[in-house]
Structure 1
């Protein structure tokens, strides 16, 4: 797929209905030969819209007006290119815990959670957040994660988590203002509620920091998993991570994780992992597939705002 097509697809399927600013901006970039030529000097994995837009926001550049964005990007390409080369789209959306919760709460308790692509580890605290599924509220405190649930009865309790660890090529630190600023820059412009949620979730993580290990999802996973307490159910999970991993490494990861004790929970775009069959997605917006041990269970929205159970 060409870079122009990727930006047009992002506008039509990811940003539409979620961020008018990014829908307008991605469409403009898809038609901007000068910016596309600059992007095409980068490795393919570094050309993605979320990374470019996040870096421009991180550098305090304009994203509201496509013309101003064009001028800023062309005029400051050296700085933008440097940031895009070293950063990744580590969107650490605690809201995704709301779609993981029905699976986590149903597994044998207590749990030892190991997140692959953990970023700052905010999704390692499903037991510390509160949830609202329509009129059904679970847990207490902040943040409150809201999720529209269809076809599934929401759990009645949060899971019992006794160990939590994350694996990431570049783990982020919630105590580092620059790392939190990068997470903030990755949140789409109109999503003020997600910024508030980030701050609340970061406060939870900072109060009891998780074990975050810098490492590879294939080479370093078994050693970290071996640190989990034997009396707990090991759960290796990831959300919107594997699309950044080359297909051969995805396949190697799946082989490794299937060989571990415990369970594997994945929440990825439908073309990222192989499934025998999937029902038709519920609408044109981008949905992830929630799966347990390789068996698909539900469609989910990418920021955890909805779950549609089909298993």
Structure 2
């Protein structure tokens, strides 16, 4: 897929009806020869719309008006390019815990959670947040994570988590203002509720920081998994991470995670992590598939705001 097609597809699949500002930007970039040439000089893994838009926001650039965005990006491209080369889209959306929870609640308790691609580790606290599945409320913590769930009897208990650890090439620290600024820059402009949720989840993590290890999802996973306490069910999980991993490395990770004790939960685009016999997605907004030990269970939305259970 060309860079222009990637941006146009992102506008249609991810942004329409979700972020009008970013939809306008993505469509404008798709037709902007100047910006396409600049983006094309970056490594393929660094050409993503989310990364470009997040870096421009981090640098104080305009994202509401495509013409102003073009002028800022062209004038400041050396600074933008430098940031895009060293950063990654580490969106740490605590709302994704709402689609992970039904799978976590089914497992033998207590749990030892190990997140691959953990960013700042905000998804390592599913036991500390509260949830609302329609009229069903669970938990009394904060923030409250709303999820429109179809075909699912909502969980009746929170998981019992006794150990939490994360693995990331560049783990972020919620007590570091610069790291939090990057996490906020990755939240789409109109999503005030997600920024508030990020701050609330960051406060939870800062009160009891997880074990975050800088490392590779293949080379360093076994050693970290071995630190999980005896008597707890190890759960290795990841959500919207594998698209950033080259296919051969992705395959090596899948082969490895299947050999580890415990369970494996994935929430990924089916074009990235394939499953046989998937039902058709119920609508164009469901882009990820929740799977437990390789068995698909549900279609989910990218920020955890909805799921359709079929497992």
> Runs (4+) of structure 1 moved beyond 6 Å?
none
Gaps of 5+ in 2: none
Q: Give the corresponding residue for 2:206.
A: 206
Contact kept in structure 1, 2:286 and 2:299, CA below 8 Å: no
Matched, 1:26 2:36: no
SS in 2 for 1:106: coil
Any residues of structure 2 matched to 1:95-110 within 5 Å, and which? 95-110=95-110
SS in 1 for 2:290: strand
Offset, 1:274: 2.1
Q: Note the aligned Cα RMSD (angstroms).
A: 0.5
SS in 2 for 1:69: helix
Offset, 1:101: 0.2
Any residues of structure 2 matched to 1:1-311 within 5 Å, and which? 1-311=1-311
Offset, 1:286: 4.5
Gaps of 5+ in 1: none
SS in 1 for 2:11: helix
Offset, 1:106: 0.9
Aligned equivalents of 1:137, 1:227: Cα separation in 2: 34
- Post-superposition Cα deviations, 1:14-67, rounded to whole Å, max 9, x if no partner, equal 000110001111000000000000000000110000000000000010000000
Offset, 1:252: 0.2
- Post-superposition Cα deviations, 1:213-262, rounded to whole Å, max 9, x if no partner, equal 00000000000000000100000000000000000001000011000000
TM-score (norm 2): 0.99
> How many corresponding residue pairs?
311
Offset, 1:141: 2.1
Contact kept in structure 2, 1:13 and 1:286, CA below 8 Å: no
- Post-superposition Cα deviations, 1:100-132, rounded to whole Å, max 9, x if no partner, equal 000001100000000000000000000000000
Contact kept in structure 2, 1:110 and 1:160, CA below 8 Å: yes
